[in-house]
């Protein structure tokens, strides 16, 4: 496991990330989770190379499941491949994340406005349950799970608008956003802040107050944008 200019095989460089050998049958899933965890916790940095040979040796597997796991993570946007060079942890810039969030604000504000004109009591109840899951996940300590529950809430709100094409675009945008947050390993220092930041949104939705929801949503996404871009700025400064 080494930086982009390293050669495959040979001695493992000092300070390289190591993995414990696996014994389960579902190797691809486990390998992908181990790599994701290494990225989330910062053990693997943007630009780091994933060497199939080294990983297979450390995990006690053949190279085939390692390659499959890498392809899976490439589809999820966490890593990228380079012909004849292998796989690397994806690098996103602060400017890219700023642009992603600017588009998110436009898209989600429009979707939320439509949703408030047609949302059902059942959909409101589902959103309330999702906020409860966000609060529960804050106690679990799983960054991956909290990111998933966060985006699940916003996707449910967009879906309530009933525009399938808008939802498709949102899904594509959300994939990039979640990759960015996963790469930095956090959104807020206190995981409970993520859950708490959704409470004003739910309050406005339950009151069916569109102006209040749009104001709260704009603040919510803008605050997240500020946090994420600042974290990416910090990463770029330290590279």
User: pLDDT > 70: what percent of the chain?
Assistant: 83
E strands, the chain, in order? 2-3, 48-50, 79-82, 86-89
The whole-angstrom distance between residue 150's C-alpha and the CA centroid of its chain comes to 10
Q: Is the full-model pTM beyond 0.75?
A: no
Residues 6 or more apart whose Cβ sits within 8 Å of residue 161? 111, 112, 113, 114, 115, 118, 167
pLDDT band at 7 (very low <50, low <70, confident <90, very high): very low
Determine the pLDDT at residue 233. Answer: 82
Most confident of 17-26, 132-141, 194-203: 194-203
Q: Look at residue 104 and tell me whether its pLDDT is greater than 80.
A: yes
Task: Calculate the average pLDDT of the chain.
Answer: 85
> Do residues 86 and 51 touch, judged by C-beta distance below 8 A?
yes
Question: 145 versus 80: which is more confidently predicted?
Answer: 80
Model confidence pLDDT, tens digit, residues 30-65: 998 888 878 766 688 778 899 888 899 988 899 999
**In angstroms, rounded to a whole number, what is the distance separating the alpha carbons of residues 101 and 230?**
13
DSSP letters for 123-159? HHHHHHHHHHHHHHHHHHT-HHHHHHHHHHHHHHHHH
Between 73 and 121, whose confidence is greater? 121
């Amino acid at each position: 496991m080494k930086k982009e200019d390293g050669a495959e095989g040979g001695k493992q460089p000092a300070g390289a990330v190591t993995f414990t050998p696996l014994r389960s049958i579902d190797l691809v899933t486990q390998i992908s989770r181990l790599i994701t965890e290494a990225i989330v916790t910062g053990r693997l940095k943007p630009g780091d190379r994933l060497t199939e040979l080294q990983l297979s040796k450390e995990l006690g597997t053949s190279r085939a499941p390692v390659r499959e796991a890498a392809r899976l993570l490439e589809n999820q946007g966490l890593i990228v491949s380079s012909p004849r060079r292998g796989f690397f942890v994806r690098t996103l810039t602060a400017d890219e994340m700023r642009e992603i969030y600017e588009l998110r604000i436009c898209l989600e504000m429009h979707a939320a406005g439509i949703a408030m004109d047609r949302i059902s009591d059942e959909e409101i109840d589902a959103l309330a349950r999702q906020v409860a899951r966000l609060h529960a996940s804050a106690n679990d300590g799983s960054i991956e799970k909290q990111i998933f529950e966060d985006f699940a809430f916003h996707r449910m709100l967009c879906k309530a608008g009933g525009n399938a094409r808008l939802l498709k675009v949102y899904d594509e945008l959300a994939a990039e956003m979640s990759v960015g947050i996963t790469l930095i390993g956090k959104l807020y220092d206190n995981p409970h802040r993520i859950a708490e930041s959704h409470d004003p949104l739910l309050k406005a939705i339950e009151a069916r107050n569109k102006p209040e929801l749009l104001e709260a949503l704009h603040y919510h996404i803008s605050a997240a944008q500020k946090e994420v871009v600042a974290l990416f700025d910090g990463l770029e400064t330290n590279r």
